[in-house]
């Protein structure tokens, strides 16, 4: 697109503002790379605790993102397509995990599981009696990640459905489809890119989550430690190079997943 000379100051201002932030991100990555070395990163990856942390990070983020999408699709559709009494309140509730400090999310989960009672015992004790454990367990990692990531999936899916004309579904209804059939056969296929974006946003949010995990799931090595926790643990014992190495591993994993998703799904987030 050719720009008129009179428009150049406008685009120059945009470039300076946007480019300044991009430069900051690049400088942060370069600083981390300069502080460590490939050999140290390899040594860090060879540690059993870091390997366990990496594995738990990958599968917990995938599960949290999948559960977030399972909630985000129907909730996003409901908020985008329907009007009902109390909708504004529901929208505010959906945004609470976005605006709350992450530590409060973890604290709230901890209170629910330890003070909500079923049959005279806490929810956690009741679940333990049935062979399920969330508090300070791997399942708690997924729940803590999901509690925050789902809100972002709902926001993404709501925007997706709002951009889709409702008339498409109405035409399907006039052709004999039920509401469910129109949703499944028409709406969901058209929302595929948005669903991929919602999954990616939820996954990325889960990857960077730390506060709720610290309070609700803990940072036990080999059990509830994820990569964000590994950075904290390495810093807590004074191993700055180890923390930087784990940070770079997180960056590589995140960039790799985002590039893969964009290549396979053509999604931009």
Complete DSSP assignment for the chain: ----GGGHHHHHHHHHHHHHHHHHHHHHHHHHHHHS-HHHHHHHHHSHHHHHHHHHHHHHHHHHHHHHHHHHHHHHHHHHH---TTHHHHHHHHHHHHHS-HHHHHHHHHHHHHH-EETTEEHHHHHHHTT---TTSHHHHHHHHHHHHHHHHHHHHHHHHHHS-THHHHHHHHTT--HHHHIIIIIHHHTHHHHHHHHHHHHHHHHH--HHIIIII---TTTT--HHHHHHHHHHTT-HHHHHHHHHHHHHHHHHHHHHHHHHH----
Regions of the chain with pLDDT less than 70: 1-4, 6, 261-269
Instruction: Give pLDDT, residue 264.
Output: 55
Looking at residue 121, its pLDDT comes to 87
Residue 226's pLDDT is what? 93
The C-alpha atoms of residue 180 and residue 215 are separated, in whole angstroms, by 40
- Amino acid 150: pLDDT: 95
Question: pLDDT tens across 126-141, in order?
Answer: 988 888 889 889 999 9
Which superfamily does CATH assign the domain made up of 45-226 to? MetI-like (1.10.3720.10)
The pLDDT value recorded for residue 267 is: 46
């Amino acid at each position: 697109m050719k720009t008129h000379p009179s428009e150049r100051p406008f685009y120059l201002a945009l470039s300076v503002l946007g480019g300044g932030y991009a430069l900051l991100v690049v400088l942060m990555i370069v600083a981390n790379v300069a502080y460590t070395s490939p050999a140290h990163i390899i040594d860090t990856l060879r540690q059993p605790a870091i390997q366990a942390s990496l594995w738990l990070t990958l599968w917990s983020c995938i599960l949290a993102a999948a559960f977030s999408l399972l909630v985000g699709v129907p909730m996003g559709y409901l908020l985008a397509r329907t009007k009902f009494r109390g909708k504004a309140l529901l929208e505010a509730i959906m945004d609470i995990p976005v605006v709350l400090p992450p530590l409060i999310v973890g604290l709230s989960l901890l209170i629910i599981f330890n003070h909500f009672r079923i049959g005279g015992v806490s929810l956690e004790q009741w679940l333990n009696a049935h062979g399920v454990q969330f508090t300070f367990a791997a399942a708690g990692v997924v729940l803590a990640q999901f509690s925050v990531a789902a809100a972002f999936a709902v926001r993404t899916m709501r925007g997706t459905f709002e951009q889709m004309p409702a008339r498409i579904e109405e035409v399907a209804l006039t052709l004999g489809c039920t509401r469910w059939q129109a949703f499944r056969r028409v709406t969901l296929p058209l929302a595929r890119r948005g669903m991929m974006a919602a999954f990616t946003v939820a996954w990325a949010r889960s990857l960077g989550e730390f506060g709720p995990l610290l309070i609700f799931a803990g940072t036990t090595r080999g059990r509830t430690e994820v990569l964000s926790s590994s950075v904290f643990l390495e810093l807590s014992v004074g191993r700055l190079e180890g923390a930087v190495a784990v940070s770079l591993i997180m960056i590589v994993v995140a960039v790799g997943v985002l590039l893969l998703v964009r290549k396979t799904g053509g999604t931009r987030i």
